[in-house]
Amino acid sequence: MNLVDVTLFNHAQNQLRGLCDVAGFEPGDETPSVLLRELLGPAGTRPLGEEPKHLSDVADDGTPVEFSIAFDDDGALAVRVLGEAGSDNLGDRGSIAAGKRFLNAVSKRFHIPTERFAAVADLFLPDRPQGKFAVWFSLILRPRARPRLKAYFNPEVRGRDRAKDLVLEGFRRLGLDHAYDAIARHALVRGARDRLSFFAVDLDDSPLSRVKLYVSHESALTADAERAASVVQGADPLRVRGFCQALGGGTTTFAGRPLVSSYSFVEAEPDGPGTYSLYLPVRDYVPDDEVARERVGAFLAGHGLPTDTLDKAIGAVTDRPLQSGVGLLAHVSLRLGPFGSGTTVYLSSEAYGVTPPRGPADTVGSGVINSAIAP
């Protein structure tokens, strides 16, 4: 079969199978594939050689899925798939309908409670959605555990000026009336440069299931992320600084794609966020994926985490030379707080394309200048 005849589902399924092998899944476990097939829907059946009907913002090349491998500090591993449900219809209404179709298809089969989705759906899924997406999902897969699901909504879906109201109302409906205030004081302090970027709910009914709010910090300094972290008990700002230095390679101002903070709340403890995570879009601060891999590897090794697992995970999604592109390693995140900490590496599927590596002169908006001249 010619490479361009491979379908998106085949391509992504191979990658996901490889990642699940690395994470220690039973070889015959078909759950990840079944979920992936449902998530991609009709988009999954298209050969890679055909233009996708919809270019998703999940990944730079329009692929509607992005993988990640989460390294808990205690050694556990999880594989995750962030994705936009596929549909036959173009446009945002199609994508909302596709999201609902996906959730219907999998919720009964995998015992996934949908109450929290239903509680906020009318708020975040209007008839005329604005912005880059309306609803995304993430599949959270751990060996020998039941799969879990998370739904992501866009606070700016009714326009940027409504974002705060939507988030306040979303929290209120989920029993977290006071969640917003502390975040606003620590993470929404730089005017228009701090924006509410995602509102996410775990589709789970345990008292520890989470509601998460994400804030993107445009042109942020490491100190901005440290301040954002400091609201969470047990999130050591020094670890945030070390993370930014290691992954940013000395970048001082993150002027490319933004640093993103997230806060998670559990109903059991509604008053303060229990976890802080910082996402660093490493692809904008390196010349190529080889440099990204070196930085991520050094950071993992410094925390006693296995770099060979990182290399195997990379090998599961691609066999291209890492120097031949940039963006395979899309983001890296650091999670901190009393419920445990960890590092997650986001890996692009690159189904539709690879971003060429950056030359030294090719620095617009990339932050590469920063890393080149930093001490």
- Binding region for ligand TRP (CB under 6 A): 57-59, 66, 82, 257, 260, 279, 281, 331, 346
Distance in Å, CB of 152 to ligand TRP, minimum: 9
In the bound state, the residue with its beta carbon closest to ligand TRP is 279
Strands (E), the chain: 65-72, 77-83, 135-141, 148-153, 194-202, 210-217, 220-221, 253-254, 259-266, 275-280, 329-336, 342-348
Distance in Å, CB of 290 to ligand TRP, minimum: 20
- Nearer Cβ to ligand TRP (114/351): 351
Distance in Å, CB of 331 to ligand TRP, minimum: 5
* Contact between 274 and 42 (Cβ < 8 Å): no
Distance in Å, CB of 253 to ligand TRP, minimum: 18
- Nearer Cβ to ligand TRP (114/343): 343
- Check the CA dihedral 214-44-54-320 and report its sign: positive
Which H helix or E strand runs over 335? strand 329-336
- Nearer Cβ to ligand TRP (237/256): 256
**CA pair distance 50, 5, nearest whole angstrom:** 9
Distance in Å, CB of 187 to ligand TRP, minimum: 15
Helix, strand, coil percentages (3-state) for the chain, rounded to 5, are 40, 20, 40
Residues 6+ apart with CB under 8 A from 372: 360, 363
Distance in Å, CB of 258 to ligand TRP, minimum: 8
- Nearer Cβ to ligand TRP (82/244): 82
- Nearer Cβ to ligand TRP (197/341): 197
Geometric angle at alpha carbon 75, from 74 and 76, rounded to 5°: 100
Strands 77-83 and 135-141, by their bridges, are antiparallel
- Nearer Cβ to ligand TRP (66/288): 66
- Nearer Cβ to ligand TRP (7/68): 68
Distance in Å, CB of 108 to ligand TRP, minimum: 28
**CA pair distance 240, 278, nearest whole angstrom:** 8
**CA pair distance 349, 60, nearest whole angstrom:** 10
**CA pair distance 121, 96, nearest whole angstrom:** 10
**CA pair distance 290, 294, nearest whole angstrom:** 6
